[in-house]
Amino acid sequence: MKTGPRPKRFWIKERNNPQLGKYYVACGRLSQAAARRKAESCYGDNAMHSYPNEKDYNDAIESLKRSGYQVQ
């Protein structure tokens, strides 16, 4: 039995850049493979955080901003 494509989740990338510090990038809806590719970095470290729906994603962005983090 063949199943359809997995539903895409919403993603926020956490960037830890030695020169700029920690900031976040709102990546929107991506497949898991695309999120893995975005996590790669030649400088600094990235962590990808996933959210099942747009409401949780937007709530997380607002929470990060209220905490004083830059979200691009």
Position 1 confidence tier, pLDDT thresholds 50, 70, 90: low
What are the domain boundaries of the chain? 9-66
How high does pLDDT run on average in the chain? 92
> Which among 27, 24, 29, 17 is positioned nearest to 66, based on CA atoms?
24
- Per the structure block, which two tokens stand in for 10? 């919403």
pLDDT tier for residue 42 given thresholds of 50, 70 and 90: confident
Rg (CA), the chain: 14
Predicted pLDDT at 67: 97
Give the per-residue pLDDT at 44. 82
Q: Is the pLDDT of residue 26 over 70?
A: yes
**pTM of the full predicted structure?**
0.87
